[in-house]
Each structure stands twice: as C-alpha cells, then as structure tokens.
Chains A and B, each alone.
Chain A
Amino acid sequence: MQLKSRHLLGLEGVCQEDITLILDTAESFKKVLDRPIPKVPTLRGKTVANLFFEPSTRTRFSFELAEKRLSADSVNFSKVGSSVAKGETLKDTARNIEAMKINFVVMRHSAPGAPHFLSQCLDSVVINAGDGAHEHPTQALLDMMTLRNCFQSLKGLKVVIVGDIEHSRVARSNIYGLLTMGANVGVCGPATLIPREIKALGVTVYPGIEEAMKEADVLNVLRIQLERQKEALFPSLREYRNLFGITRERLDRVNRRITIMHPGPINRGVELDSDVADGDYSVILSQVTNGVAVRMAVLYLLDGGRQKLEGDDHGN
C-alpha cells in the first residue's frame, strides 16, 4: 500500500482510503509504543531534518520521538540562531539541507504554503508540521485517531471546533479530514475570529456555545491567543471565557456525554476550565500519545523507496 501523495502537505484533498490507512497503521504503532523496547529498526539509515521556523515544543517533541522510535537519525534546525535570521531565503536553506542528503523534511513555518514551496524545490519527502493558519495535518490525524478510539467510526459524528477558527491550522486540517471521513463539522467562536466564507467549506457555524453544545458529540477546543486581543479581535480573556469558555456548569447543563479535545497547550480557566480538561470526558492525554503513533505511521508510509522490489527475499 502507498499513499497517493509523496508528501504530507495537508489533508485537503487526501482521500478516505489514505486517511484510513494512516490511522490503521498508527494503531499498529501504538502497540509498538507499549512494548518494553518501544523502538523498531524500520527507518535505520534514514535522516529527518526537523525545520522549525516557528517556536513549537509539543509538535517538535512528538515528531522527534516518532523519528527515534523508528530508528531514523534526526537533525534539528530552529529559527533562533540559524541562517534564516541572516536573510537566507527558504529556497537556499532548503537546497543546503538537501545537499546533506536528507530523506525527510518536517517543517513548521509561519507562512501558509511554505511546505508546498519547499516540496517543489526538494527531492526529499516533506511533511507539514503546521504552516501559518493553513494546515497541521498530523494534528488532525491524531485528533481523528483519538475520536476513532472513542466512537469506532467518524461517520455521522458531530464535531464542533471552538475558538479562533480564522488563525487556526488545526481547525482547517480537522475540517478537511473530518468531512472526508463523513463527520459533521461545526465551528463556534467570536464572529471576528470566524472566516467570512467558512460555510463554503461545508461546515455549520454556531453563533453561541450553548447552541453548539446542544448538538455536538465532540468539542475540539482551540487555544485562544492573547495577541488577538491586541488586534482588537476580542475584548478580553474574561469576556471570552464568559461567552465561549467550556466550563463544568455548561457541560452539566447538557445531559449528554460530550467528548472534550484540545490540541494544547491549554489556557486553563480561559477556553477550558481545569476540571473539564482533567475530567472524565477529556481525551486530551490520549491525543498526545496518539500523536507519536500517527507521526510514526506518516513517516513509515511516506518512506517510499523509488525502486521496484527486486527478487523476493522475504517469504518467497
């Protein structure tokens, strides 16, 4: 089996079979992670460059761990103290990296489309670890894996993404992935943080959190960035919590189980109260575990050798 694309740049346009293949493969890797020696030699001799042009702790750790669990060698490059600060273009940076014979590039960048650009200048396999507000495909995959663990199937599931949709790559990748898998997707947040034509993507827009919670099976709660307050996109964290915060009281008012997700890091007491984040309905820590398995699956499936199999050394 092979994914239809050489790179993982986003989930828009990735078909159901490919998403299913990634999630199934990730389940197998999750088992590997539970073993006494949670490491396999599969990518021995392969090199992964983790290019992080934007600060990230969680995603970078998760990718690095996935790479190490597969026995790949990894090198890290982050913006601070690198040549990007000296005005080297992304193209030159990429070329230099390729000259070092790197098999995979995992990239986080603030500009949407930066990994797409990179994939056009490189022979290496490019994995998008977040490009601006565009996509963060592995996050959405791990979210879907977590949901599949809770609900068996994603078909017909109602997932509402809550918060700053406009600036969220997590939201976009989740929308594309979940819709492809047959889920219903809603978004909910301050009108100033909902893209004007988001409905064209096939999602329902909920103006208020109560209405969203009436229908949702799952709330995927996004981190609210304090910077947006300075841009006059919402008045204050206090007001945000009052209008959109997921509190125990709000959950109690809905007498149905609603699964709570969050891509982290959580602003406790703002978008999510602690007793909700740490409560029974929260699957936030499973998301983190699944993250490593999903990234292993993606690396495994994208590591396509270019040659045809010569002879058949295994089995017979």
Chain B
Amino acid sequence: MAIKIEQVKSVLLKNARVVDPQVKLDQITDILIEKDIIRKIGPVREFKGKTVDCKNKIVIPGMMDMHVHLREPGEEHKETVITGCHAAAAGGFTELACMPNTKPPIDCRSDVEFIKERAENHLVNVHPIAAVTIGQAGEQLTEMGDMIEAGAAGFSDDGKPVLTAALMRRALEYATMLGKPVIDHCEDLSLSESGVMHEGKISAVLGMPSIPSIAEEIIVARDLLIAEYTEGLLHLAHISTAGAVRLIREAKSRGVRVTAETCPHYLVLTDEAVRGFNTLTKMNPPLRSENDQKMLIRGLKDGTIDTIATDHAPHAIEDKECEFQVAAFGIIGLETAFGLIWTHLVEKKLLTLEELILKMSVHPRQILQLPENKIESGAPANLTLVDPDIMWTVDNTAFESKSKNMPFQDWKLKGKTFGVINRGKMILTV
C-alpha cells in the first residue's frame, strides 16, 4: 500500500457521523472543506468537487500520538521522519510528537529545525520533543527556550528517566517557566537493572531477569512530589502499573499538575504473552499483570490517565530475531493503535467514542500546550475518518512503517481509520 497525498481544493464528506465532544457535536451530516478550512457543517445539496461517501462512517478531530520514535537522524534503516509520518497517517493520526533519543539526540535548535524541515510538506504535523539534558546524559540542561522557538513541544530524556531528583526539580522549574511540560520515562534503573520482563509469576516460570512494578512507581512517586513542590508541568510517559495509576490519581486529587499516558499494548496484552519468548513482546516498561491492565483501564475511565500514545518504537529485524535477553525493547504501534483500542476497549464498552476522542485527539494537544483542534465551521480541517464496522486482519507486510516489529500480526480487529485530512491535504487508505 503506497500512501497517496492529495491536495485538497474542495472536498465534501457526505453523510458522516461527526463527533467532537469539545463542541458537543454528534450528528449525521456533511462537512465541506475548502483548502485547509472547514467551510460548512451541515447538509450540502449540490456539490461538484470530490465527494467522500461517509455513510456509516465517523469523522472525529484528527488524532494525535504524543509518543513516537522516528529514529531520524541516526537510524534511518528503522524509520525516517517521512516513513513515520506515512505510518501515522495510515493509522489515522494527523499529528505526532517525536522523542529525542535519536543518534545524536535532539538537544539543540538545529536538531529541532532538522526534524521540522523533514516533515514540512507532509500532511502530518510533527512536534519534536527535545532532550531535557545535553546528549540525554543527565547532566546539563538543554537550551529549552531556543528549541521551543524552533518548534519543540516538550522535553524528555525518554529511553531513560531524568536521572536524579535534583535534575528533575530544575528541569520542571525551567520548562514550566517556558510553558512546556517535562515528560518522564519512569524507571528506577537500580531496580530494573538487567531486567527484560515484568517481575511476576511468568518471570518466575521463565527464569528471566525481571523489572518489578516498583521500578516504575518509585520514579512516579518522586516526580509527583517534585511536581507538587515546584508546581511544574509534569507528564508521565507509558504508565504500566496499578501502583503508578494509584499514585497519579491521588496526586491529581491534590491538584498536582500532572498528566499521564499509557499505550495500547498495555491495554490488550499482559506478561502471559511473553511465554514462548517472543521478542516482539519485549518492551520497556514491560507488559504487566492482568491486575495492572485492569487498573490502567480504570485509570483511563476515571481520568487518571489522560492519553493513549503508542510509544511507536521501530527496530530492525535483526534486533528482534535473537535471544529475548539480547533483543531490543519496543514495538511499533502507529498502524494498529486505533484498531486495538476500538476492538478491545470501545467495542467491549470499556471506553466510549467520546472518551477515545479525548484520549487520542484532544488531550495530547492540551498536554503539549498546542492549539486546540475542534470540528467547527471556519476552523482548520484536521480530521480523522473512521470506519467503525470494518473487520480487518493485521498484516505488517502492508505497513507504511519501515519496521515490522509488533506482536499483533494476524490479529483480527474491528474498526479502522480510512483517511486523514490536515494542512490542506488528504490521504485516503482503503
């Protein structure tokens, strides 16, 4: 499947169910788009331009994935800005934020500009997250102000935690002064050590070095205390444990300015999947227990967890076709996220369509202090087109991503996005 980007002169989305909880919109109607602007929401009788039949389809505000690894610069054999954007579009995302742990890391203005430039002409908006510390080495703060001017949307040393409490304190104080959050990868390295999977029954069975839940929770607790103390803007990436959910819930109830994300794989898989030593089930944080999964879903539901991000982590085949202990951490997720969430949460009534829109479209933009994206007449047309009923089978050979590493091959899913519209461009995938 090759992505085809069409320039929009004018396009009519006919008979769509248009849903946007931000403007309390949920009705079956037409949307007329001219260039990059929504001209009209309402019945359009006569129209000569391109029409997309959206009968039984849903149009939602364009989705955003705030946790993507694009691998450029440095590991272009795994992914590039362009292939990553293609994969995002194929998965229904119109915007993404990319993590700075490239080679070299994104830690100065020219690095941020490089990423922005690469994505300049794509439909997908790319918002670089820049490093908290130079070289992500955990020592010296980066020039955050300069990088925000160039387009950086937040700061993270993702791949690693912000190393010390003192550093976290300073980073939060400084980034918050500039209005951007610090995104932390919560992992106490002394506890996770050489671990490769969740510590629990399955790790006991497999005899594998493991990562206890508390490795995540201790840093979550540390960060929450620092955020409370500094009144900083804290975002916690890929939350995976019940204990972390509990800590965040409690902190939010006290008014700490914290937001949190989880990933589709933690919601649909548990450490049971690691039996058989499938390296495609290896990620960091690791797949957790059934109880953790239940608590993550509860956390999503009650607002403790604000967003679902993919942690799209492309790796070459040789990084995964090896012993479990040696294999790279991480899986790709852009092209399966919507289908997984729709099939395993929305269809099972664990999440409503409105909640999905909040978690996957509205909140990521709020967290990164980006302009809101509403479906309103006169607003920029930034939309995702959803076919809620289609049955499909995951096939990574048809993926846009350069990498194929994910454990969902051959999964039967219901619901898929079939198009995205943004920046006066449209991509339809069938």
B277 touches A200 (CB 8 A): no
Interface flags for A143-156 (1: CB within 8 Å of B; 0: not) read 00000000000000
Number of chain B residues whose Cβ lies closer than 8 Å to a Cβ of chain A:
20
Question: Which of A15-23, A112-120, A275-283 lies at the interface?
Answer: A112-120
**What's the nearest-Cβ distance from chain A to residue B233, in Å?**
36
With A91-B322, A116-B276, A132-B325 known to touch, is A197 a contact of B200 (CB < 8 Å)? yes
Which single member of B205, B212, B321, B324 contacts A111 (CB below 8 Å)?
B324
Q: Which residues of A contact B199 (CB under 8 A)?
A: 196-197
B203 interface hit (Cβ, 8 Å): yes
Which single member of B206, B212, B318, B323 contacts A117 (CB below 8 Å)?
B323
**What's the nearest-Cβ distance from chain B to residue A208, in Å?**
21
Interface flags for B288-329 (1: CB within 8 Å of A; 0: not) read 000000000000000000000000000000100111111000
Q: Which residues of B contact A90 (CB under 8 A)?
A: 322-323, 326
A113 touches B324 (CB 8 A): yes
Q: Which residues of A contact B203 (CB under 8 A)?
A: 195, 197
**What's the nearest-Cβ distance from chain B to residue A167, in Å?**
8
Q: Which residues of A contact B205 (CB under 8 A)?
A: 12, 172, 201
Interface flags for B237-272 (1: CB within 8 Å of A; 0: not) read 000000000000000000000000000000000000
* Smallest Cβ-Cβ distance to A109: which chain B residue: B323
B206 touches A134 (CB 8 A): yes
A223 interface hit (Cβ, 8 Å): no
Q: Which residues of B contact A168 (CB under 8 A)?
A: 207
**What's the nearest-Cβ distance from chain A to residue B229, in Å?**
31
Tell me which residues from 175 to 217 in chain B have a Cβ below 8 Å from any Cβ of chain A. 199-201, 203-209, 212
Q: Which residues of A contact B209 (CB under 8 A)?
A: 133
B208 touches A200 (CB 8 A): no
Give Cα A132 to B277, complex, Å.
13
A89 touches B322 (CB 8 A): yes
Which single member of B204, B321, B323, B325 contacts A195 (CB below 8 Å)?
B204
With A89-B322, A132-B325, A196-B199 known to touch, is A112 a contact of B204 (CB < 8 Å)? no
Interface flags for A34-70 (1: CB within 8 Å of B; 0: not) read 0000000000000000000000000000000000000
Judged by DSSP, the binding face of B is: loop
A198 touches B206 (CB 8 A): no
Q: Which residues of B contact A198 (CB under 8 A)?
A: 204
Which single member of A112, A116, A196, A200 contacts B207 (CB below 8 Å)?
A112
With A114-B323, A117-B322 known to touch, is A135 a contact of B204 (CB < 8 Å)? no
Q: Which residues of B contact A262 (CB under 8 A)?
A: none
Tell me which residues from 180 to 195 in chain A have a Cβ below 8 Å from any Cβ of chain B. 195
Q: Which residues of B contact A196 (CB under 8 A)?
A: 199-200, 204, 212
**What's the nearest-Cβ distance from chain B to residue A142, in Å?**
19
Give Cα A12 to B275, complex, Å.
11
Tell me which residues from 142 to 194 in chain B have a Cβ below 8 Å from any Cβ of chain A. none
A134 touches B204 (CB 8 A): no
A30 interface hit (Cβ, 8 Å): no
A169 interface hit (Cβ, 8 Å): yes
Q: Which residues of A contact B201 (CB under 8 A)?
A: 197, 200-201
Give Cα A196 to B324, complex, Å.
21
Give Cα A114 to B196, complex, Å.
14
Give Cα A112 to B204, complex, Å.
12
With A132-B208, A133-B208, A201-B205 known to touch, is A112 a contact of B324 (CB < 8 Å)? yes
Tell me which residues from 81 to 98 in chain A have a Cβ below 8 Å from any Cβ of chain B. 89-91
Which single member of B204, B207, B212, B321 contacts A91 (CB below 8 Å)?
B321
* Residue of B199, B204, B206, B277 most packed against chain A (CB within 10 A): B204
Closest 6 CB pairs of A and B: A113-B277, A133-B207, A111-B323, A134-B207, A195-B204, A200-B201
Question: Given A117-B323, A117-B324, 5 more contacts at CB 8 Å?
Answer: A89-B322, A111-B325, A112-B277, A167-B207, A172-B205
Chain A interface (Cβ < 8 Å from any Cβ of B): 12, 89-91, 109-114, 116-117, 131-135, 167-169, 172, 195-198, 200-201
- 27 A-B interface contacts by CB (under 8 A): A89-B318, A89-B322, A90-B322, A90-B323, A90-B326, A91-B321, A109-B323, A111-B324, A111-B325, A112-B207, A112-B277, A113-B277, A113-B324, A116-B276, A117-B277, A117-B323, A131-B207, A133-B207, A134-B207, A135-B207, A167-B207, A169-B207, A195-B204, A197-B200, A198-B204, A200-B204, A201-B201
